[in-house]
């Protein structure tokens, strides 16, 4: 029973529309506003959709300035140089890969080698899941972000995709794939579907059209309770996001 409250917070905007200076000013103001409610022994913020290690560093720095001394423990996901943890960047994605590999082997008698995988969401969790699965022999046939997705039956290269996204900020104009929508990605005939974007993506309205053998949840609550029942009746194995 950890002595922390439960909370979620954020700012409604597209961070990609801001300059670095604008993003820093907004982040520091947000950190100032929530500072009375967070702390190493109260509640510890962590990265989520639209954030990165730099944003976590700004938040830690702002909180520390208000207290008068450095407090690295106020937030997770910081760069290693300012007290972050080695491996934090890829830990969640690698964890998704490990449990998926175990479920494929133990429950379905399959190997991750050459398993066909579709990943919805190409942020921190989705990109590192795709990359670590690819490194273990899986074939990443589709990925998507908030703007849409791409598909290549022969497989996509997650490393090249990650480099591409650093420049273009989207996967949709990646040259080695055919465009598809997020909904089309969810309904692809694949071995593993990784919803790693937002919550409520698989619902009772589309669950019957899901063709994946395994759903490995990388996002928070991507499958609704109504969809869970339909997927169970279809024999789809769902690895919960816990």
Q: Are 114 and 190 in contact (CB under 8 A)?
A: no
Provide the whole-model pTM.
0.84
Give me the chain's average pLDDT, please.
93
What pLDDT sits at residue 224?
95
Of residues 8, 78, 166, 234, which has the active-site annotation? 8
The torsion angles phi and psi of 237, rounded to 5 degrees, stand at -85, 125
pLDDT at 96 exceeding the cut of 80 = yes
Here the tokens at position 123 are 């942020």
What pLDDT sits at residue 1?
66
Residue 42 known to be catalytic: no
Q: Give 112-117's long-range contacts (Cβ < 8 A, gap of 24+).
A: 112/136, 112/137, 112/138, 113/137, 113/138, 114/138, 114/139, 115/139, 115/191, 115/192, 116/141, 116/189, 116/190, 116/191, 116/192, 117/141, 117/190, 117/191, 117/192, 117/193, 117/194
Average pLDDT over residues 223-229: 95
Ramachandran region, residue 121 (left: φ > 0; alpha: ψ -120 to 50; beta: rest): left
Question: Given pLDDT bands bounded at 50, 70 and 90, which one contains residue 207?
Answer: very high
Q: Are 241 and 222 in contact (CB under 8 A)?
A: yes
Q: Are 178 and 151 in contact (CB under 8 A)?
A: yes
For 158-190, what is each residue's pLDDT tens digit? Answer: 999 999 998 888 999 999 999 999 999 999 999
Q: Are 71 and 64 in contact (CB under 8 A)?
A: yes
Domains (range + CATH), the chain: 15-82 (3.40.50.10860), 88-239 (3.40.50.720)
């Amino acid at each position: 029973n950890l002595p922390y409250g439960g909370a979620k917070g954020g700012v409604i905007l597209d961070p990609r529309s801001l300059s670095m200076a604008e993003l820093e000013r907004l982040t520091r103001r947000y950190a100032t506003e929530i500072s009375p409610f967070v702390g190493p022994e109260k509640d510890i913020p962590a990265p989520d959709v639209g954030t990165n290690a730099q944003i976590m560093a700004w938040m830690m720095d702002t909180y520390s300035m208000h207290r008068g001394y450095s407090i690295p423990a106020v937030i997770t996901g910081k760069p290693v140089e300012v007290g972050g943890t080695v491996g934090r960047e890829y830990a969640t994605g690698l964890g998704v890969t490990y449990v998926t590999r175990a479920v494929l082997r133990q429950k379905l008698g399959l190997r991750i080698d050459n398993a066909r995988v579709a990943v919805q969401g190409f942020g921190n969790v989705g990109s590192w899941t795709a990359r670590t699965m690819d490194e273990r022999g899986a074939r990443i046939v589709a990925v998507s972000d908030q703007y849409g997705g791409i598909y290549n039956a022969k497989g996509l290269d997650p490393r090249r995709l990650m480099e591409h996204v650093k420049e273009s900020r989207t996967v949709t104009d990646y040259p080695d794939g055919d465009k598809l929508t997020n909904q089309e990605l969810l309904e692809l005939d694949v071995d593993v579907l990784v919803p790693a974007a937002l919550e409520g993506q698989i619902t009772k309205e589309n669950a019957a059209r899901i063709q994946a053998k395994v759903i490995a949840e990388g996002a928070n609550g991507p499958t609704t309770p109504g969809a869970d029942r339909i997927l169970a009746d279809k024999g789809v194995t769902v690895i919960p996001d816990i």
